[in-house]
């Protein structure tokens, strides 16, 4: 699944590169949502999964490399999201990458749509295999 950079982070990157601005990253977390995510959405705009067994999880990405003329990073290890305490009330259709472990304060760095929606049952886990979550710059 391919990730799309969020508008806010695109602006910060351009400001850092071309205007001498700064952006220092920190820990990176992956979360999931039950509704579409748009490029300009902040954390407060995302319909995040509400199961008590769900929480955002840390993720680590590769160094950038050029593949087919595009600069790409991808997850270096399997990302396990869950374990669900109850059957999911709504299908999980989208995911997001953020610098906030919890709450609505922080940046949405990127977002993505799952190829197939997930409907985890109690005890279920969503797994994103190594290299499957890619963020690309053209």
* Residue 50 to residue 80: CA distance in whole angstroms: 16
Predicted local confidence at residue 31, as pLDDT? 97
* Residue 40 to residue 55: CA distance in whole angstroms: 23
* Residue 20 to residue 68: CA distance in whole angstroms: 30
Range of the domain at 48: 2-137
Using a pLDDT cut of 90, give the percent of the chain over it.
72
What count of other Cβ atoms lies within 10 Å of the Cβ of residue 96?
23
pLDDT digits (tens, 9 = 90+) for 42-88: 999 999 999 999 999 999 999 999 989 988 999 999 999 999 999 99
Cα diameter, the chain: 49
* Residue 2 to residue 41: CA distance in whole angstroms: 17
Q: How many domains does the chain have?
A: 1
Provide the whole-model pTM.
Answer: 0.91
What count of other Cβ atoms lies within 10 Å of the Cβ of residue 89?
10
């Amino acid at each position: 699944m391919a990730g799309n950079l969020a508008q806010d982070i695109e602006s910060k990157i351009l400001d850092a590169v071309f205007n001498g601005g700064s952006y220092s990253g920190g820990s990176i977390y992956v979360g999931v949502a039950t509704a579409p995510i748009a490029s300009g959405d902040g954390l407060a705009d995302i319909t995040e999964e509400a199961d008590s067994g769900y929480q955002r999880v840390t993720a680590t990405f590769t160094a950038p490399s050029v593949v087919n003329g595009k600069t790409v990073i991808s997850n270096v290890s399997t990302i396990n999201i869950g374990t669900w305490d109850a059957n999911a009330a709504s299908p999980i259709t989208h995911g997001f990458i953020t610098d906030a472990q919890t709450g609505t304060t922080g940046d949405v760095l990127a977002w993505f749509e799952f190829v197939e929606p997930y409907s985890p049952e109690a005890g279920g886990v969503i797994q994103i295999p190594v290299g499957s979550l890619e963020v690309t710059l053209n």
